[in-house]
C-alpha cells in the first residue's frame, strides 16, 4: 500500500530544503517483516494538471533518497545495452535533451529560460506566471520541466549531501 500526501515545501536555502524534507521522511512509519512502507509526496502541479511527486523508497538507494515522478507523463530511458523503456521518472538526460531542443528552437527565449533555472538553482520561488511568457513548441512544457528541475536539484542535494549536490545537474544544464 502506498501512502500519498500533498505537501507544500518552500524554502530559501539548500540546507532548509534538506532539513524540511529529512524531517518529513523521518515521520514515515518503518516497514515490517521485509515489507517497506511506501510513500508519495505530491509537491507541485503544472499548468496541464500533471502532478510532480516524490516517490519513496527508491529501487536502488537507501535512506533519504527519493525519485521525482510526473503523473500522466512518459520519459524515454535507454539502458546500457541500448534497450528503450518509458516511465514517469524524468532523468537528467531527459531534462538536458529537452533544454537542447528548446535552445535550438529559440536561443533568445532559451537564454531567458536559463535565468529562471538560475533562480531555481538559488532556491528562489518562481511566480507561476513567468512560465506563461515562454512559447516553445518543442519538448515538454516549460513549467513542468522547471518544477522537475527544482526537485531534481533537491534530490541531488540529499543524495550527495556532503558533496556537490545540485551542481552536477546544474553544470549539465549550463553546458547545453
User: How far is 90 from 93, CA to CA, in rounded Å?
Assistant: 8
CA angle 149–152–153, rounded 5-degree value:
85
Straight-line distance from the first to the last Cα atom of the chain, in angstroms, rounded to the nearest whole number? 40
Please report the pLDDT score of residue 61 as a whole number: 63
> Using 50, 70 and 90 to split pLDDT, how confident is the model at 47?
very high
pLDDT over threshold 70, residue 50: yes
**Which residues does 132 contact at the CB level (< 8 Å), separation at least 6?**
47
Question: C-alpha cell of 51?
Answer: 502532478
Percent of the chain clearing pLDDT 90 (strictly above): 84
- pLDDT given for residue 62 in this prediction: 65
Of 26, 89, 82, the closest CA to residue 58 belongs to 89
pLDDT(159) > 90:
no
User: Mean pLDDT throughout 101-109?
Assistant: 98
Amino acid at each position: 500500500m502506498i501512502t500519498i500526501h500533498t505537501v507544500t515545501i518552500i524554502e530559501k536555502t539548500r540546507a532548509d530544503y534538506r532539513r524540511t524534507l529529512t524531517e518529513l521522511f523521518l515521520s514515515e512509519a518503518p516497514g515490517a517483516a521485509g515489507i517497506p512502507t511506501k510513500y508519495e509526496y505530491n509537491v507541485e502541479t503544472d499548468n496541464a494538471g500533471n502532478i510532480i511527486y516524490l516517490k519513496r523508497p527508491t529501487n536502488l538507494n537507501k535512506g533519504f533518497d527519493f525519485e521525482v515522478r510526473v503523473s500522466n507523463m512518459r520519459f524515454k530511458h535507454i539502458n546500457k545495452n541500448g534497450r528503450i523503456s518509458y516511465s514517469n521518472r524524468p532523468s537528467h538526460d531527459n531534462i538536458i535533451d529537452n533544454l537542447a531542443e528548446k535552445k535550438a528552437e529559440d536561443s533568445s527565449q532559451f537564454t531567458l529560460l536559463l535565468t529562471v533555472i538560475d533562480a531555481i538553482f538559488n532556491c528562489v520561488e518562481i511566480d507561476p506566471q513567468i512560465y506563461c511568457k515562454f512559447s516553445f513548441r518543442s519538448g515538454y512544457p516549460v513549467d513542468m520541466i522547471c518544477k522537475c528541475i527544482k526537485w531534481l536539484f533537491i534530490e541531488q542535494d540529499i543524495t550527495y549531501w556532503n558533496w556537490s549536490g545540485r551542481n552536477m545537474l546544474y553544470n549539465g544544464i549550463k553546458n547545453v
